[in-house]
């Protein structure tokens, strides 16, 4: 599709970096259970009464704090109470609760029981929530008063046998604290443990079916890949990552923010939280990091104390890394993991390697280097095909440098969707005797074994002169100062589409100068030949989960009258 970057000697693979960090894999005599692993951490802890989860108020002071000991005790109590109310292994439980210590305890209680938690991003909107809940068909519904009100108004989950409230008040419901006292149930080993719905940003939301083993492999891979050390403090701006903090020996600090709108977070409040609570690890989508840098003089001293920044949810533009890196300590890296709800983490790369090496190739349209395969992950690039695959005619496994579809296998990769055999037929395949997940992304591996991401397969622009991968082309425009966001869409029928690049500008810039500069960059780049239309778009639509991923289907609808 485009010339490939030359190989340079940089970092070795994660498997070599982490060879000296053994995983806490359950033995044959131990249950494969996330809550069991948390209880094991408590048994080995020398400071069980130290804060484990801290929730902050709007002034960044501590509103609530739980120790690891209390977290385990409360999770066992909730598990026993739910079992007494008839919830057991395999039962699906919808959880619509904001991130609080009780949320952490509830999730581990469901792990303990072997129940299947149903997690849906409230940012997808009421209609999306209703569709996902109908698909999940849970036996129990546990929610905040706000979620319970929505359930009543929109008729969600009419067949549930148990409804519980977490906090506040809602007529006709009981709080989770009212669960009966009962003997602790045994830890259930293995089996389904969660249905996590995709964001729906590139199609209808699908429920990835997680097992206990998937969750264990996921948090262990993150810990090894990011070199997380016990005793660190994590600012939990993304609830799922925050859930793993206690399992990794970290203290989770939950800020006062709207987790469904990270792109509108209060930067002063987050920076204050980082400083006051001596945060080591910051997870934030590109939109959230951009908010932190929106102040004329961000609290550099607060950022300077960070040990690590992790950003995911969408490709992290190199210009954003260039702005943020000088505010951090020299040894602090910005890590940009790649993955999906169905498979996470898949790969990772750090900011030094990007800024000192791969960014120059990205600026030429050669794709975004997302780094080295994560622990446990096997990567393959498959010959490009749309739709389900015929088992009698498997795709070709392509060599390094060849562009195709990214497919992955490993213990953190889910094997099924919940009640979606049509999606299983498309995404869940066997390759070389191993179950694999088709990521739906275009990419290639380089001579060093690193993975390069080009864009969503379904969102490539198919012109009469060839296909144009969206993210790779957009990255060219994002190099131009004054460009806040870019979105490439195709107008007209494939394979004779016209490529239109929409550009959202930063406030106060010279519009004509910036747009002309973007056109000049595209003209000078061989990979972007065929992109002849560049237009200003006031607000490019983005996904609701991370506020960072361009919603190209919605954007394309705005340019339906552009001549194909």
Please tell me the distance from the alpha carbon of residue 464 to that of residue 3, in angstroms, as a whole number.
Answer: 19
Using the predicted structure, report yes or no on whether residue 20 has a pLDDT greater than 60: no
- The confidence score (pLDDT) of residue 276 equals 96
**pLDDT tier for residue 24 given thresholds of 50, 70 and 90:** very low
Please tell me the distance from the alpha carbon of residue 436 to that of residue 419, in angstroms, as a whole number.
Answer: 18
- The confidence score (pLDDT) of residue 204 equals 82
Q: Which of 242, 195, 190 is nearest to 217 (CA)?
A: 190
State the average pLDDT for the chain: 92
Mean per-residue pLDDT, 162-189: 97
Three-class DSSP category at 184? coil
pLDDT tens digit string along 48-81? 999 999 999 999 999 999 999 999 999 999 999 9
Using the predicted structure, report yes or no on whether residue 169 has a pLDDT greater than 90: yes
Please tell me the distance from the alpha carbon of residue 491 to that of residue 472, in angstroms, as a whole number.
Answer: 18
User: Is the peptide bond preceding residue 345 cis, with omega within 30 degrees of 0?
Assistant: yes
pLDDT tens digit string along 152-162? 999 999 999 99
Domains of the chain (ranges, CATH numbers): 34-189 (3.40.50.980), 460-557 (3.30.300.30)
**pLDDT tier for residue 339 given thresholds of 50, 70 and 90:** very high
Tell me the CA distances in angstroms from 295 to 269, 270, 284, 291, 298, one per residue in order. Answer: 12, 12, 17, 8, 5
**pLDDT tier for residue 18 given thresholds of 50, 70 and 90:** very low
- The confidence score (pLDDT) of residue 247 equals 98
Mean per-residue pLDDT, 304-315: 94
CA 225 to chain CA mean position, Å:
15
**pLDDT tier for residue 299 given thresholds of 50, 70 and 90:** low
The residue with tokens 């080009």 is 454
- The confidence score (pLDDT) of residue 11 equals 37
Tell me the CA distances in angstroms from 319 to 91, 352, 396, one per residue in order. Answer: 46, 13, 36
Using the predicted structure, report yes or no on whether residue 335 has a pLDDT greater than 70: yes
Three-class DSSP category at 250? coil
- The confidence score (pLDDT) of residue 27 equals 53
Please tell me the distance from the alpha carbon of residue 362 to that of residue 368, in angstroms, as a whole number.
Answer: 5
**pLDDT tier for residue 28 given thresholds of 50, 70 and 90:** low
**Which of the pair, 7 or 504, is modelled with greater confidence?**
504
pLDDT tens digit string along 361-396? 999 999 999 999 999 999 999 999 998 988 888 899
Segment among 13-27, 245-259, 261-275, 430-444 with least mean pLDDT = 13-27
- The confidence score (pLDDT) of residue 296 equals 65
φ, ψ of residue 163 to 5 degrees: the values are -125, 130
Q: What token pair was written down for 447?
A: 């001579």
On whether the pTM is more than 0.85, the answer is: yes
- The confidence score (pLDDT) of residue 13 equals 35
- The confidence score (pLDDT) of residue 101 equals 98
pLDDT tens digit string along 318-330? 999 999 999 999 9
- The confidence score (pLDDT) of residue 312 equals 93
pLDDT tens digit string along 381-434? 999 999 898 888 889 999 999 999 999 999 999 999 999 999 999 999 999 889
pLDDT tens digit string along 215-255? 999 999 999 999 999 999 999 999 888 999 999 999 999 99
Mean per-residue pLDDT, 524-545: 94
Angle CA 354–289–513, to nearest 5: 75
**pLDDT tier for residue 7 given thresholds of 50, 70 and 90:** very low
φ, ψ of residue 125 to 5 degrees: the values are 95, 165
Using the predicted structure, report yes or no on whether residue 3 has a pLDDT greater than 50: no
């Amino acid at each position: 599709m485009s010339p490939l970057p030359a190989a340079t000697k940089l970092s070795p693979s994660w498997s070599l970096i982490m060879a000296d960090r053994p995983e806490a894999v359950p033995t044959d005599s131990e249950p494969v259970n996330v809550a069991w692993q948390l209880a094991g951490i408590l048994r080995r802890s020398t400071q069980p009464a130290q804060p484990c989860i801290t929730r902050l108020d709007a002034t960044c002071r501590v509103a609530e704090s739980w120790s690891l000991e209390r977290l385990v005790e409360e999770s066992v109590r909730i598990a026993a109470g739910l079992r007494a109310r008839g919830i057991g292994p395999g039962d699906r439980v919808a959880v619509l609760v904001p991130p609080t210590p009780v949320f952490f305890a509830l999730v581990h209680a469901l792990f303990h029981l072997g129940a299947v938690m149903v997690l849906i991003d409230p940012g997808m909107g009421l209609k999306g929530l209703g569709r996902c809940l109908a698909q999940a068909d849970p036996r129990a519904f546990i929610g905040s008063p706000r979620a319970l009100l929505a359930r009543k108004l929109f008729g969600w989950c009419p067949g549930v046998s148990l409804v519980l409230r977490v906090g506040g008040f809602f007529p006709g419901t009981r709080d989770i604290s009212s669960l009966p006292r009962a003997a602790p149930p045994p830890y259930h080993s293995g089996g389904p443990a969660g249905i996590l719905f995709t964001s729906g940003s590139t199609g209808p939301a699908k429920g990835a079916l997680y097992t206990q083993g998937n969750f264990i492999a996921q948090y262990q891979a993150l810990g090894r890949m990011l070199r997380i050390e016990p005793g660190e403090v994590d600012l939990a701006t993304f609830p799922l990552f925050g859930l793993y903090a206690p399992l990794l020996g970290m203290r989770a600090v939950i800020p006062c923010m709207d987790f469904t709108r990270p792109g509108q977070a209060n930067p002063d409040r987050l920076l204050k939280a980082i400083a006051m609570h001596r945060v080591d690890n910051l997870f934030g989508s590109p939109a959230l990091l951009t908010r932190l840098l929106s102040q004329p003089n961000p609290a550099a001293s607060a950022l300077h104390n960070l040990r690590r920044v992790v950003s995911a949810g969408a490709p992290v533009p190199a210009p954003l890394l260039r702005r943020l890196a000088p505010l951090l300590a020299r040894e602090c890296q910005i890590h940009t993991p790649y993955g999906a709800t169905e498979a996470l983490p898949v790969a990772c790369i750090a900011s030094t390697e990007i800024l000192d090496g791969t960014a120059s190739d990205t600026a030429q349209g050669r794709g975004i280097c997302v780094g080295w395969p994560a622990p446990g992950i096997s990567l393959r690039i498959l010959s490009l095909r749309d739709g389900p695959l015929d088992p009698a005619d498997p795709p070709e496994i392509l060599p390094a440098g060849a562009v195709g579809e990214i497919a992955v296998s490993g213990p953190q990769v889910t094997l099924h969707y919940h009640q979606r055999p049509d999606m299983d037929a498309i995404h869940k395949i066997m390759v070389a005797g191993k179950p694999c997940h088709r990521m739906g992304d275009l990419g290639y591996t380089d001579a060093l074994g690193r993975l390069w991401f080009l864009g969503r397969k379904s969102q490539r622009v198919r012109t009469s002169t060839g296909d144009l991968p969206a993210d790779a082309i957009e990255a060219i425009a994002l190099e131009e100062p004054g460009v806040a966001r870019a979105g490439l869409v195709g107008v007209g029928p494939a394979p004779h589409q016209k490529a239109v690049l929409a550009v959202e500008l930063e406030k106060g810039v010279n519009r004509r100068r910036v747009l002309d500069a973007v056109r000049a960059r595209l003209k000078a780049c061989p990979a972007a030949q065929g992109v002849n239309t560049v237009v200003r778009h006031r607000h490019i639509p983005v996904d609701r989960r991370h506020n960072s991923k361009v919603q190209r289907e919605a954007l394309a609808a705005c340019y339906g009258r552009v001549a194909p």
